[in-house]
Amino acid sequence: MAFTADNLAADDRFLAAILHCADQMLSIYRESPRIASIFAAQQRWLMAHAGFALHYGYSDDGKSGGLYSGRFIDFAVRNDIASRNTAAAFMQEMLAYRFLRPVPGPDKRTRYLEPTEIAEQHFTRWLVAHMMILDSLDSGERAGKITADPSAMAAIQPLIARAIIGSEAVRNPGATFNLFNWANSGGLVMDYLISRLPEFPRTADRVVLGPLSLREIREQFMISNTHLKRLLTQAATMESVGWTEPARKGDFWLSGHFIGEYWNYQAAKFAIIDAAAEAVLGPAVRNEPQARLVI
């Protein structure tokens, strides 16, 4: 059986998986900031999943498959992902960046679109990275199966998109998580902060990360000083982050509650991905029930 969110949330080994996932997302960003900007905030991430799902044939409107602007915009609005203007602007941005391109379709009056090779490559990399992390927990073979059969992406991704879009645990895991993940580049800043965790004792009120360079964060993620300071100030007001000395001096810390929100979000997301993988690829682990024992 696939991992459940409760399995993962209770498994201390999952912290290493979370840290590895954060590192992977940061690595993708450093290699290609423009493509990784799609993962930098939840709204853009959800729109990307929606676009791929429609391209791969997902339908919740009774219409035939295919991706085109009007259908994407209606989908985004219907599922409370974005306004019509925001969804339309996102499509234009993806075309301008050449992550989407026009293709012939069944209706000559409609301008059909498809992801370009570079977009599919990066999305496949995102999926394989998550499969590898799941494999590290139970010695499964998900990543190998995906790599051996790239067409499996087209079957798995719509299942992931549908479940993520309908998941309250993924879309609304907590106030501090939402603060970061709905801000421009906030998701990347959050991944960076989490990647700095040395450990996470579950009973800890705070976990100290050590010195934090705001300049390094600004330069790495191309975020303005004003925007970054506002984001951290809001989080500090919520007692979710802070410094050990006044005036942003001393070591930087994250609250146990904030880390818990991130942990539970990742548990819900990975459980969705594992369920989709199992539905398409079959069980990741056969005849090894001990692999699923939770520590």
Average pLDDT per block of 10 residues along the chain, 295 residues long: 91 88 82 76 92 90 79 95 96 94 87 93 90 92 91 94 96 96 89 91 93 92 92 97 92 96 95 96 70 44
In contact, 167 and 133? CB cutoff 8 Å: no
Q: How many beta carbons lie within 10 A of that of residue 15, not counting itself?
A: 17
In contact, 179 and 190? CB cutoff 8 Å: no
Residue 32 confidence (pLDDT): 79
Which is it for the CA torsion 84, 89, 90, 91, positive or negative? positive
Q: Which one-letter DSSP state was computed for residue 272?
A: H
Residue 176 confidence (pLDDT): 97
| Residue with the two structure tokens 């705001």 | 214
Cα–Cα dist 171/22, whole Å: 18
Q: How many CA atoms lie within 13 A of 66 on its CB side?
A: 17
With b for 16 or more beta-carbon neighbours within 10 A and e for fewer, the 136-173 pattern comes to: ebbebbbbebbeeeeebbebbbbbbbbbbbebebbbeb
pTM of the model: 0.91
Residue 287 confidence (pLDDT): 57
Residue 29 confidence (pLDDT): 79
Residue 54 confidence (pLDDT): 95
Q: Tell me which H or E stretch contains 48.
A: helix 42-55
Residue 291 confidence (pLDDT): 46
Cα–Cα dist 157/209, whole Å: 35
Strand, coil or helix: 249: strand
| Residue with the two structure tokens 């069980």 | 283
How is residue 228 written in tokens?
């970054």
Residue 63 confidence (pLDDT): 66
Residue 62 confidence (pLDDT): 65
Residue 295 confidence (pLDDT): 37
Residue 285 confidence (pLDDT): 77
